[in-house]
Amino acid sequence: MTAQPTSAENNGPRQNKVVSAAEAVAVVENGSMIATGGFVGTGFAEHLAVALEKRFLETGEPRNIGLVYAAGQGDGKSRGLNHFIHPGMVGKVVGGHWGLVPGLQKQAMENKISAYNLPQGIISTMFRDIAAKKPRTISAVGLGTYVDPRNGGGKINGVTTEELVELMVIDGEEYLAYKTFPIDIALIRGTTADPTGNITMEKEALTLEVLAIAMAVRNSGGKVLVQVERIADYGTLPARDVKIPGIFVDYVVVADSENHWQTFGEQYNPSYSCEIKIPVESIPPMEMGARKIIARRAAFELRAGDIVNLGIGMPEGVSNVVIEENVLDRIVLTAEPGVIGGIPVGGLSFGAAINTDALIDQPYQFDYYDGGGLDITFLGMAQADRFGNVNVSKFGPKLAGAGGFINISQNAKTVVFVGTFTAGGLELLVEDGTMKVINEGKSTKFVDDQVEHVTFSGKYSIKRGQTAIYITERCVFRLTEEGMVLTEIAPGIDLQKDVLDQMGFAPVLKEPPKIMNPAIFNPEKMGRELS
């Protein structure tokens, strides 16, 4: 029998929903399917997760819970979904990204739990479909990738047998139908609550899909648990500021400050919540090296007026180059959790941004992305093959997960993959406008056979007429119907020794590759102007 909180007063419309964390998580039953909000650490209900973990360690319950989440939530160590790694606690995971939760990742790869990796944008929008009790989320996103049921249907291991993805044909076109399911518990957060459960988010860096999750759980007959920073009096929250109406909320918990950081990187940064804007001149330029060279070459693909998405890691450098070249006002940078304009930040604060023009809910951002709204995206590239396929999601025993990569790469008009040519110990010397390889990386990124996990399908990209470019520090490729065409090479790089001999396949060479713009390799500003 589910335990019921004792401190809340049931007095009709003015019911007091404020309870302790222990009282709130007591309603989670064995086998409950739990939806968690958050993006890395932004917006994650850390205080509630700590309380649920404490209950499990003390009582052995709840056991065999399910988790469903869109973006990766964790710090790779102890926070976020890492609170749920104890054997027996979790039985099933439907997640968009796994790289920040190594403990759950290990359980999935060892066949100890049922596990799926679905596109982040699909899960994000699926919450709305669950709320509306739609039986499927129908989308072209995932066709040709490992999510396609012809390629595994997003299942991670052999003990995962239920099919969550089906192939459909509508009006002669292929689509994927993602099966929806009820959700029992929501663990989400906001900034301020009144006692009836109305929630505002004025100090949050992102609004994510908290409203969609709350509605999905409420319409599934479940319980919505929300952690906040503070409580306001009845009727004092401006209606326009209420992000989650109290009718969708069951329990409110005031979090300890140490468990309510704005991101997992910073306790509070007022620029992330649009409280202030900061001078971009305060952002230091990158040091010369592979990352800056790649970002500089990538910036040459930008055009004035472009709506741009930047992925995590190497792509983040593009924003630094844009700032350094003083052309930020010529484009609009975006990030998938709902950032429009401004400058996305990185590290454990990735997803947040400074000087934003607007913040929207993550499901709406993916509606825009999936519908082809992006002019160009810059994404990481862990592994590529002769067909133009890219893998960023799974490597042997390591399960990173796709995150929003599939949604974004599949639907942007131009996709630019960025990364070093080899990995593991790569050392370069950049001087006098040229580049030399001092020590080659141990791992080949451009492999002969098809990549282990197809996170981006080159075949599907060509079918759609998409422009796909692959930029490294020493050369550039473009995907065509004939294959991967080598188009450019860095000054000082030996074509045979430094490029062809380091690849698992022979690229298409229609003509000698052009020399990359020498300005990329000099310490001075490039003088890049967008037109």
Q: What is the pLDDT of residue 14?
A: 76
Question: Are the C-beta atoms of residues 450 and 431 closer than 8 Å to each other?
Answer: no
Q: Round to whole Å and give the CA distance between 144 and 385.
A: 15
Task: Give the CA distances from residue 168 to residues 146, 177, 412, 426, 459, in Å, rounded to whole numbers and listed in that order.
Answer: 16, 7, 23, 45, 19
Look up residue 92 and give its two tokens: 């099933």
Confirm whether 15-134+182-259 and 280-518 share one CATH topology.
yes
The distance of Cα 482 from the centroid of its chain, to the nearest Å, equals 32
The per-residue pLDDT for 2 is 47
pLDDT at 295: 98
Residue 510 CA from chain centroid, whole number: 37
- Quick one: DSSP state of residue 425? S
Are the beta carbons of 356 and 339 closer than 8 angstroms? yes
pLDDT at 1: 38
Q: How many CA atoms lie within 13 A of 509 on its CB side?
A: 13
DSSP letters spanning 12-26: GGG-B-B--HHHHHT
State the virtual CA torsion across 450, 454, 455, 461 in degrees, nearest 10.
80
Whose tokens are 């999905």? That residue is 216
- Asked whether the beta carbons of 306 and 375 are under 8 A apart, the reply is yes
Q: Where are the domains of the chain?
A: 15-134+182-259, 280-518
Cα separation, 44 vs 39, in Å, equals: 7
Cβ neighbours of residue 384 closer than 8 Å, sequence gap 6 or more: 390, 391, 417, 445, 446, 447, 451, 470, 484
- As a whole number of angstroms, the distance between CA 100 and CA 401 comes to 10
Residue 13, preceding bond cis, omega within 30 degrees?
A: no
Number of Cβ atoms within 10 Å of the Cβ of 396: 7
What six digits make up the tokens of 399? 């399960």
The tens place of each residue's pLDDT in the chain, 531 residues long, gives 345 555 555 555 678 999 999 999 999 999 999 999 999 999 999 999 999 999 999 999 999 999 999 999 999 999 999 999 999 999 999 999 999 999 999 999 999 999 999 999 999 999 999 999 999 999 999 999 999 999 999 999 999 999 999 999 999 999 999 999 999 999 999 999 999 999 999 999 999 999 999 999 999 999 999 999 999 999 999 999 999 999 999 999 999 999 999 999 999 999 999 999 999 888 889 999 999 999 999 999 999 999 999 998 899 999 999 999 999 999 999 999 999 999 999 999 999 999 999 999 999 999 999 999 999 999 999 999 999 999 999 998 999 999 999 999 999 999 999 999 999 999 999 999 999 999 999 999 999 989 999 999 999 999 999 999 999 999 999 999 999 999 999 999 999 999 999 999 999 998 999 999 999 999 999 998 898
DSSP class of 180 = P
168 phi, psi to nearest 5 deg = -130, 155
In angstroms, what CA-CA distances link 401 with 14, 31, 417, 452?
44, 24, 17, 13
Amino acid present at 441: G
d(CA 469, CA 467): 7
Torsion of CA 49, 55, 60, 61, to 10 degrees: -70
Furthest-apart CA pair in the chain: how many Å?
A: 79
Helix axes 317-324, 290-299, angle to 10 degrees: 70
Distance from C-alpha of 487 to C-alpha of 330, rounded to nearest angstrom: 27
The architecture CATH gives domain 280-518 = 3-Layer(aba) Sandwich (3.40)
Could you give the CA distance from residue 260 to residue 142 in angstroms, rounded to a whole number? 34
φ, ψ of residue 122 in degrees (nearest 5) = -65, -45
Which neighbouring-strand residues pair with 416?
A: 378, 469
Angle between helices 362-370 and 120-131 (to 10 degrees): 120
Catalytic residue chosen out of the listed positions 336, 440, 473, 488? 336
Q: Answer whether 251's CB lies under 8 Å from 9's CB.
A: no
* Per-residue pLDDT at 510: 86
Confirm whether 336 is a catalytic residue: yes
Tell me the CB-side half-sphere exposure of residue 64, using CA atoms within 13 A.
Answer: 2
- What is the architecture, at CATH level 2, of domain 15-134+182-259? 3-Layer(aba) Sandwich (3.40)
Contact criterion met (CB below 8 Å) for 509 and 495? no
- How far out from the chain centre does Cα 355 lie? 20
Which residue, 104, 111, 105, 127, is CA-closest to 178? Answer: 127
